[in-house]
Amino acid sequence: MPLNAQTIDPTLSFWLKIGSGFFWTVAYILIIRRGFKDKHYGMPVIALCANVSWEFIYSFIFPHSKPQIYIDYVWLLFDLGILAQYIWLGKKEFPSNLPSWLFLPSFLLTLAFAFITIVTITLEFDDKRGIYAAFGQNLMMSVLFVYLLLKRNSSQGQSLYIAIFKMVGTIIPSVLFHLAFPDSYLLHFLFFAILIFDLVYCVLIYLKLEQEAINPWSKI
């Protein structure tokens, strides 16, 4: 069923969208920076495919209104940079028990499934704003960042600043959509679950950096 929005002050809505756009954009820039420095991609591949798909879909297929459409363009640009880093660096983390030639086809298949999933969620819930898809994949992303850290057992490709900017970049639209849809049980569950996993990720990356004898605040 489509969401029925409550009226929000347009100025507040504008600045909350800008705030979310800023914090997520900085997170993307930091992910790319750490990828170059550590020679490890910084975003889990499933989350990357979902992000690229969401931003393309709501930029060109179901385009958002201003200012979100411009934020989508910026996010898509930086996500394509992260995608290029994954293609460049991801092969060394591809499962060793699989033929290496499957690396690119498996990525393309993941991207196709992510794209189709987001489109079908949009149509099923009649949600041309992409709210259900955005927060659903955001929860998936928060879980996968924790998984990536635990799987690598290393802070390579990651930093506390990435974790913080990613978390704040999600808290801001959570406030916006809490105000817009105060009666949505699903969205409020997603807001809460994302925050929990983001806090867990912040704590884990902080502890991992200390374990590696790195000042958590010095690794940018």
196-216 residue pLDDT tens: 999 999 999 999 999 999 999
Judge whether 2 lies within some domain: no
Q: Does residue 147 belong to any structural domain of this protein?
A: yes
Helix (H, G, I), strand (E, B) or coil at 189: helix
In a domain, 217, yes or no: no
Of the pLDDT bands very low, low, confident and very high (cuts 50, 70, 90), residue 3 is low
Query: What is the residue range of 129's domain?
Result: 10-211
In a domain, 1, yes or no: no
Q: For residue 216, is it within any domain?
A: no
Asked if 41 contacts 35 with a C-beta cutoff of 8 angstroms, the reply is yes
* Contacts (Cβ under 8 Å, ≥6 apart) of 57: 115, 118, 119, 122, 130
**Is residue 97's pLDDT more than 90?**
yes
Q: Report the percent of the chain where pLDDT is more than 90.
A: 96
| Placement of tokens 């867990």 in the chain | 200
Q: In the structure, what pLDDT confidence band is assigned to residue 1 with cuts at 50, 70 and 90?
A: very low
**Quick check: is 154 in a domain?**
yes
Using 50, 70 and 90 to split pLDDT, how confident is the model at 6?
confident
Q: Give a yes or no: residue 168 inside a domain.
A: yes
Q: Tell me whether residue 54 is in a domain.
A: yes
Structural domains in the chain (count): 1
pLDDT category of residue 80 using cuts at 50, 70 and 90 = very high
